Amino acid sequence: MLFNSLTFLLHFSVFYLFYYYSSFFFRKILLLLFGVYFYSQWGIGGTLLLFLSIFFNYTIAILVDKNSESKRRTFFLIGIVSNILYLGVFKYFLFVWGVMSDLNNAMVGEPLHWEPNILLPIGISFYTFHNISYLIEVFDKKIPVCRNIFTFVLYDMFFPLLLLGPIERPGNLIPQLESPRVISKEKIWNGISLFCFGVFIKSSIADPLARYVGLTTTSFDTLEPGILWIVAPSIAFQVYADFFGYSLCAMGLAETLGFELMNNFKRPFFASNPSEFWSKWHISLSTWLRDYVYIKLGGNRYGFIRENFNLLFVWFLTGIWHGAGYGFIIWGFYLGICLILYRILKHTGFTTYQNLILKGLGIVFTFYTFSLGLLLFRIVSPADTLLIIKNLKSIPSISLFPFSLIFIILPLVLFDIWQEWNQTERPTFFISSRPYLFWILFTICFCWFSLVSPFAKEDFFYFQF
């Protein structure tokens, strides 16, 4: 039941009608029931595993809170290790088994015969990180433990962010769940506008680009020379439109319900260096890794070399978090090295002397660095890396460039330019101050959608993570 499906809109409309006219107590019940129903559409087995994770983390947090220092540390470590193992078994066991099979094939001459079949619950990376951050915040005494089991279940089952985040901090979401929410007319209209635009860029930009990318990159050894210079930016805009679209839908739905979620993207393609880019892209994940991994490892407190080692380890984890495969590991190291090289240049003072031209070149370089890295997501074996490098050694023919792609991505580019011009902290259509603009934009987007949107629905790109 995708956000951009008629089925979801019909079910949500019925739910919202009851939700809007209910009391605070019954709103929480409805939120929980709809969250369970929404998540169960992807399988009962995954839903049962999610509830197992919820009750385990609720119990561990209680034990951490009520015990003495030595015991609370023990329970905390049990909780963290258990969550990592939980994520590891369901998400990475098949990859580790595949590596062992490859090694056995290289040494003995045949792969391992047993092929395990393990359920991969959708959104497992997101809700596991959700729970790890809760345990850390409770252990560090930054938030009080949540003793209301109903509220804590709802913390993990809050359906707008249940599948793909953002990885909302417990200190922001739990207090909102524990207090009555005021649903103003402005919140409803702003939420609807964000949701509609999220569906629009998902269906009218991400899905057509996904079809182009899928047809172009069926096999790295049969590509036209140099075409990856064109395909890479297409993948970048596909992933951005897809994940940003989901984030807007999540923010919009939450706002119509009276909640405020964190902003997950802030015009990342305007970033002029890798460090700035990752402060604007997938903000909930990058800040999560910064606060709970990088700083816990020592951050920049132990010298420049140790700082860069910490960064490289964080980016290795980022690659692993995104998926179990050779390409994801290489991608993590690749982006970590790019960030470290930039920090070395910054450390030597090279980046101090910037003007408008250098900043423009920095934007182009940063965009292409990120775009080329996304090609690694499609690697099946390490040999594919060499095929990518070989293709990029050539310059593509102008006849290979699909100029229709510019037409497809134009609405998203114009929206980001508009938001950058107004320096907004969160995406907004300024409905309260300029309501006529919303209707103009809505009409334009509807016509655009009618022209370019495919009828078939594509899964959100980050469902695989």
Which residues are designated catalytic?
322
Contact 3, 198 (CB under 8 A): yes
DSSP codes joined into one string, 115-169: -------TTHHHHHHHHHHHHHHHHTTSS-----HHHHHHHHH-GGGTTT-----
- Degrees (nearest 5) of the Cα angle 124, 129, 131? 100
DSSP structural state of residue 460: P
Contact 64, 139 (CB under 8 A): yes
Contact 147, 62 (CB under 8 A): yes
Cα radius of gyration rounded to whole Å, the chain: 23
How many CB atoms are located within 10 Å of the residue 352 CB?
Answer: 8
Nearest to 187 by CA among 195, 176, 177, 178: 195
CA distances, 250 to each of 4, 164, 195, 326, 391 (Å): 12, 9, 7, 31, 38
| Residues constituting the chain | 465
